[in-house]
Amino acid sequence: GETVIFQPVLNVFLLALLCAPVAALAVIALVKAKGRDKALGAMRLVMLLACFVMFLRPGIPGGATETLATDTDIVLVVDTTASIVAEDWNGDEPRLDGVRADVQAIVDEYPGARFALITFDASADLRMPLTTDTTALVSSLEVLRPEVTSQSRGSSIGIANQLLTDTLSNAAEASPDRSRMVFYFGDGEQTVTSPPEPFDGSEKLTDAGAVLGYGTAEGGPMRLSTGGVDGSSSEYIEYQGANALSVIDEANLEAIAADLGVEYQHRTADAELTLPDAPSTTTSYAESGSVGTVTELYWIAALVVVALLGVELTRASMLVARLRLLRAPSASPRRKTPTGGGAA
């Protein structure tokens, strides 16, 4: 037979501590009970034991799984200047909402890939080195805020070029057999007078990817970024007494796409994201019965609990129905006897 392993939801000692007092009460009730109540007490004790087994999470190791593994390294380069929260995505939502949704789509498209996150405003930062922990990646993007408005000195859309090249070079040296993909997220708005730095140093290290553009030609207003807990103010950035508007610069984004040797795509909320296929040599099915997989058995105990709860509910419904019958008034009320004028 198979060896059963346990993966308790809490420390076993804590579980015993939680269940022991209830079990003691159930045993006392069982000892004192008579007749039909004895069976009821035994049933409740079995229910408690089934719950305890469920909390222990029994399972059989080595459950067969077949998962698609994308053997590729993906670097995400995200603009975090003030303009990334300009409100012209899906009407009047911040562009960053669109970036987050598209990153989630990329994570779903390439299961098993390793992801790195680079953000840039006045400088470029490696927020997250290559990892398969996509939960951490999505969490990083959820808490991502643009640079504090009062500290902004203007920024270049190409400032991440060297950090991207270094990240790809390190990945290529560490895992030469893996492919590398780059996704750049931004609006192409250059707010310093110098021209954008070219990304051509990364082209030979990039196998696939895309440059994704956010924003509209009409532009969107930007809320002030305060650096506080919620990160944004209710006020907007102003220029000459009116709301400053950030507009997309698609020519700049197309130039970055040409440098990297990937496609440019203008993103809107109503258009589906088109993603390139991962290089075919890097996509394979992981072996069946891989390490760390467990066939869970706690559901058997859960079925026992559900069945016993069903018995309890049926019994409770019958008791309620019986009480209602006892309390219901008589079906044929007594006829009143006449109070006056006897027989003639």
Percent of the chain exceeding pLDDT 90 equals 61
Residue 43 pLDDT > 70: yes
Residue 230 pLDDT > 60: no
Q: What is the DSSP code string of 236-262?
A: E-EETTEE-EE---HHHHHHHHHHHT-
231: left (phi > 0), else alpha (psi -120 to 50), else beta?
left
Return the amino acid letter for 105. A
| Residues 5-22: tens digit of each pLDDT | 888 888 999 999 999 999
Of 10-14, 186-190, 238-242, which one has max mean pLDDT?
Answer: 186-190
| Pair of tokens at residue 337 | 């006897």
- In the chain, % helix, strand, coil (3-state, to 5) comes to 40, 20, 40
Least confident of 96-105, 139-148, 156-165, 199-208: 139-148
Residue 174 pLDDT > 60: yes
Question: What average pLDDT does the segment 134-140 reach?
Answer: 92
For the chain, what is the mean pLDDT?
87
Cβ distance 190 to 196 under 8 Å?
A: yes
Give the confidence band of 332 by pLDDT, cuts at 50, 70, 90.
low
Q: Which of 96, 154, 158, 169 is nearest to 124 (CA)?
A: 158
Least confident of 26-40, 47-61, 276-290: 276-290
pTM of the model as a whole: 0.64
Return the amino acid letter for 305. V
Question: What average pLDDT does the segment 289-309 reach?
Answer: 81
Where is 316: in which H helix or E strand?
Answer: helix 298-327
| Pair of tokens at residue 12 | 């076993």
Residue 291 pLDDT > 70: no
**Strand-by-strand arrangement of the 5-6 sheet:** 5-6, 58-61, 294-296
Give me the half-sphere count of Cα atoms (radius 13 Å) on the Cβ side of residue 119.
17
Least confident of 52-66, 70-84, 159-173, 193-207: 52-66
Give the confidence band of 67 by pLDDT, cuts at 50, 70, 90.
low
